[in-house]
């Protein structure tokens, strides 16, 4: 559904220096050498992967690793300095293709409630559908469906100011505004940042439900390894703009020391299992990666055998 092919990106290059190069050129050189100076900072370097339809795909990395830059390439907000990004098989480097990609790929930035601006909840959610040129009836239908999807009472909230709502409700309004455009892929940049524990759990449950019941492809950037391990089919780990690891949660978190070396960590249950193993208490995870439940059951089974 979304394909990155040998993507490099720098914020320093002049627009005239940014152009797509042939794949064989990149394959031969494996480093940028098309008029940009060596001193320039490469936000992305030789990124290649394919995101499949229906995946729940996680992205992790230390601050400044390139996560936000990467996801802005997924709907054409940024274009590669070199390489190619395709959505649905179409190179989105052109203006028209990028515009279509923004309808198919919804991007929700961190703290989306900061983007609220309209006088009413209805008008805020309606912004996207109206800009798509939809009829009033179709726009109204989508607004109702989107608010229902994020569990907001349409009749009770439609005429309220979004700024009069709680922080969790404001985030849902902003989220509904993206869903009203009916994207096939939903990209979320730290979707639960700043929420209290209850609102955080509710919002993650909402995202999981949309993925499972609506069939949305979900891409989630997060600093929380437990959330990524629990929700994602695959995880991409970035380090200084490069792919450090890509695979299932069990594959990505198999080497705790390597993950820690780049400023991240393994999920809490896995870390505890590693610490127990150092003390001679080795509990093998059933699926390659421990959860709290599997670790507790493994420890209980171990001590039942002793008794």
Full DSSP string of 19-64: -PPPHHHHHHH-S--SS--TTS-EEEEEEEEEEPTT-EEEEEE-TT
Confidence of residue 144 (pLDDT cuts 50, 70, 90): very high
pLDDT tens by residue, 199-233 = 899 999 999 999 998 889 999 999 999 999 999 99
Residue-level pLDDT at 187 = 95
Rounded to an integer, the average pLDDT of 177-193 is: 93
Question: Nearest-CA neighbor of 231 among 204, 195, 197, 259?
Answer: 204
pLDDT greater than 90 at residue 50: yes
Residue 39 vs residue 257, higher pLDDT: 257
More confident call, 298 vs 121:
121
Q: For 26-65, give one letter per residue: b (16+ CB within 10 A) or e.
A: beeeeebeeebeeeeebbbbbbeeebeeebbbbbbbbeeb
Least confident segment among 112-116, 206-210, 241-245, 259-263: 112-116
Q: Supply the pLDDT for residue 165.
A: 93
* Integer Cα distance of 1 and 236 in angstroms: 16
Phi then psi for residue 255, to 5 deg, are -115, 90
The structure's pTM equals 0.85
Nearest C-alpha neighbor of 245 from the set 165, 232, 305: 232
Distance between CA 2 and CA 51 in Å, rounded? Answer: 5
pLDDT value at 13 more than 80: no
- pLDDT surpasses 60 at 17: no
Can you tell me the distance from the alpha carbon of 219 to that of 105, in angstroms, rounded to the nearest whole number? Answer: 10
| Sequence-ordered list of residues with C-beta below 8 angstroms from that of 166, at least 6 positions apart, any chain | 199
Whether 86 and 2 have beta carbons less than 8 Å apart is answered as yes
Predicted confidence band of residue 9 (pLDDT cuts 50, 70, 90): very high
| Domains, the chain, with CATH or none | 2-253 (3.40.50.300), 267-307 (no CATH)
Residue 264 has pLDDT above 60, yes or no: yes
pLDDT of residue 40: 58
What's the rounded Cα separation, in Å, for the pair 55 and 58? 9
Phi, psi of 100 (to 5 degrees): -65, -40
């Amino acid at each position: 559904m979304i394909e990155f092919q040998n993507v490099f990106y720098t914020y320093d290059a002049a627009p005239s220096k940014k152009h797509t190069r042939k794949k064989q050129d990149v394959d031969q050189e494996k480093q940028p050498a098309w008029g940009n100076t060596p001193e320039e900072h490469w936000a992305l370097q030789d990124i290649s992967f394919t995101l499949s339809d229906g995946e729940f795909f996680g992205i992790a990395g230390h601050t400044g690793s390139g996560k936000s830059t990467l996801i802005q390439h997924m709907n054409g907000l940024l274009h590669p300095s070199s390489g190619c990004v395709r959505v649905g098989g179409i190179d989105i480097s052109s203006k028209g293709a990028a515009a279509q990609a923004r309808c198919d790929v919804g991007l929700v930035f961190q703290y989306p409630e900061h983007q609220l601006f309209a006088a009413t909840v209805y008008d805020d959610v309606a912004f996207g559908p109206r800009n798509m040129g939809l009829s009033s009836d179709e726009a109204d239908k989508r607004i109702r469906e989107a608010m229902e999807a994020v569990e907001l009472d349409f009749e009770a909230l439609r005429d309220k100011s979004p700024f009069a709502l709680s922080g969790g409700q404001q985030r849902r309004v902003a989220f509904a505004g993206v869903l009203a455009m009916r994207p096939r892929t939903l990209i979320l940049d730290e979707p639960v940042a700043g929420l209290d524990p209850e609102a955080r759990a509710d919002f993650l449950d909402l995202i999981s439900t949309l993925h499972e019941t609506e069939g949305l492809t979900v891409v989630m950037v997060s600093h929380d390894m437990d959330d990524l391990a629990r929700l994602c089919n695959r995880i991409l780990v970035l380090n200084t703009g490069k792919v450090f690891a890509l695979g299932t949660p069990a594959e990505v978190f198999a080497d705790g020391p390597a993950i820690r070396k780049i400023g991240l960590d393994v999920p809490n249950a896995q870390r505890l299992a590693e610490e127990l193993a150092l003390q001679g208490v080795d509990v093998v995870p059933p699926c390659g990666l421990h959860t709290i439940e599997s670790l507790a059951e493994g420890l209980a089974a171990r001590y039942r055998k002793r008794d």
